[in-house]
Structure 1
Amino acid sequence: MRLEDKLAAYLEYCEYRKQLDKKTLKAYRIDLRQYFEHVNADEPDKEKIEEFVTYLHKSYKQKTVKRKIASMKAFYNYLEECEIIAESPFRKIKVKFKESVTLPRIIPREEIEKLLNHMYQCLNENDKVSHKHMLRDVAVIEVFFATGARVYEISNIREDSINLNTGLIKLFGKGGKERYVQISNTSILEVLRKYYDENEQAIKKSGYFFVNNRESRYTEQSIRLMLKKYTKQAGIERNITPHMFRHSFATYLIEEGVDVSCVQQILGHSSIKTTQIYIHIAAKKQAEILKELHPRNNMKIVGAA
């Protein structure tokens, strides 16, 4: 079986049997092409694979290296399961990663409040034509902070994936995994309903809930630029990105005492280890609070340092 046929069969399996999304399929395709171009062999030996793994470590960040190696392992596991090869060559390759904790950047609560206040002020001042687009932008930012969703998840919300009566939203995460997130804040639901009422025709035409001025899907890049524009207008110097709302959502929930497994489910993390990073941030905040506000600070204890 030719390499091209193996790759085609595997990607077809991923698309139709595993039902992976286009973004994941594209990443697999790029990773596998790069791998086979580098090793320059249909069935590379252990030495060539080791050379490629070393090249990855030299060229990419740890997160990217992990993904690329996972792509290759998954491909060979498929070939092994289909009995196209006797054994995956990666069974003999040991790859170790140094576990490092990089704390996600979050948005201070007062800056989220400042941004939303500015956007609502703009909403009240706009004319009728601009009002419908401003409503959309307010709704997008509110949904970011209300759900902790990724930017591509927000961009790809379908018209029939959101219930404006109950506030239940169906999201499609990494690998096309489906999950539901509840919006319970009545003010946010009211904004979403108003947005839908003023943009219903364009929404029905595109099939997507959030639409642009051309009645098509509101793309990830357009959302990023929109956020950048309003952040600057609000006088916020921090470079706020859509993903920072996700980090902030998780961190503030944990600070309020929400169980980490519940936050994991809401965010759509496969592993609780990914979610536990937010405990570090919450713990840091806790240390600051205790240092400044603990009642022991004001006690006068004779003989104490």
Structure 2
Amino acid sequence: MSSRKHLTPSEVEKLLEATLKGKNPERDYCLIWMCFIHGCRVSEINSWRLSDIDLEGGNIYIHRLKNGFSTIHPLYVRERKCLQRWMAKRKSYRGADSEWLFLSNRGARLSRQRIYWLIRNYSEVANLEVNAHPHMLRHGCGFALADRGIDTRLIQDFLGHRNIQNTVLYTASNAKRFKEVW
């Protein structure tokens, strides 16, 4: 097993494919994709409320923990589609009148421990070379943004880091940043 602390975009895709074989594909696909695309900590994603999402306006409020900067992110096309599928399926869940976005089969808020278990389980189903956990999705987001050439300050804002030193981890190891130097 690798000691890497992040998932690559292709590994995230494999995780997403694995959710389609699970008992709650709409919920789990949406949860994993949103966790990755917004670089969320597990406690941030399991705390999302329906009121944090504005599907019509195309925004989501990201309440950052660990003294991070909370902000509003856009909802991207793929994310909107998986959110719409989950919201339609969510209506049939116990506790559908609850404020929590991600519900357990019992109708309660999906726990941090359950999210850890789900991601670990899906990493096994997907035959990943790493034992994935939720924070690997957050780091994967940071590295994916750096690989796309996104400015370090923008990555800092996107992930809610107060200290730039927490962000340079993603850009410092990115060889692509030197591509246009000469």
TM-score (norm 1): 0.53
Q: Would you say 1:168 and 2:55 are equivalent positions?
A: no
Which of 153, 156, 163 is the equivalent residue of 1:261? 153
**Kept in 2: contact 1:106–1:245 (CA 8 A):** yes
Cα gap change, 1:262/1:176 in structure 2, threshold over 3 Å: closer, same or farther? closer
Residues 8-27 of structure 1 mapped to structure 2, 5 A cutoff: none
Percent of aligned pairs sharing the same letter: 28
The structure in which a higher percent of residues are helix is: 1
1:279 and 2:179 matched: no
Q: Secondary structure at the residue paired with 1:206?
A: coil
1:215 is paired with a residue whose SS is: coil
Inter-partner Cα distance in structure 2 for 1:239 and 1:217 = 24
* Structure 1 pair 168–202 and aligned structure 2 pair: CA distance change class (3 A): farther
Matched, 1:192 2:83: yes
State the Cα deviation string for residues 197-219 of structure 1 (Å, max 9, x = none): 12136565321111111111111
In the alignment of these two chains, the number of paired residues is 175
Over residues 211-259 of structure 1, what are the superposed CA-to-partner deviations in whole Å (9 max), with x where a residue is unaligned? 1111111111110101111111112231111111111111111121111
Question: Partners in 2 of 1:277 and 1:111 — Cα distance?
Answer: 20
Q: Which of 252, 270, 277 is the matching residue for 2:162? A: 270
Q: Match for residue 113 of structure 1?
A: 13
Paired residues for 1:125-136 under 5 Å: 130=23, 133-136=24-27
Which AA in structure 1 matches 2:156?
Q
Alignment RMSD (CA, Å): 2.3
After TM superposition, the score normalised by the length of structure 2 is 0.85
> Cα gap change, 1:223/1:157 in structure 2, threshold over 3 Å: closer, same or farther?
same
- Structure with higher RCO (Cα < 8 A, 6+ apart): 2
Find 1:209's aligned residue among 101, 123, 127. 101
- The higher radius of gyration belongs to 1
Mean Cα displacement is larger for which, 109-118 or 271-280?
A: 109-118
Whether the 8 Å CA contact 2:71–2:160 is kept in 1: the answer is yes
1:21-60 → structure 2 map (5 Å cutoff): none
Letter in structure 2 aligned against 1:192: L
Select which of 115, 138, 141 maps to 1:246. Answer: 138
In structure 2, the CA distance between the partners of 1:178 and 1:202, relative to structure 1 (3 Å rule), is farther
Give, in angstroms, the shift of residue 104 of structure 1: 7.0
Separation in structure 1 between the aligned mates of residue 57 and residue 118 of structure 2, nearest angstrom: 28
1:156 to 28, 47, 58: 47
Q: Does 1:143 align with 2:52?
A: no
Whole-angstrom CA distance in 1 between matches of 2:95 and 2:159: 26
In structure 2, C-alpha distance between the alignment counterparts of 1:237 and 1:258, rounded to whole Å: 27
Distance in 1, Cα, partners of 2:4 & 2:79: 26
153-162 or 227-236, larger mean C-alpha shift:
227-236
Query: Structure 1: 5+ residue runs without aligned partners?
Result: 1-102, 124-129, 291-305
In 2, the alpha carbon distance for the partners of 1:167 and 1:231 equals: 30
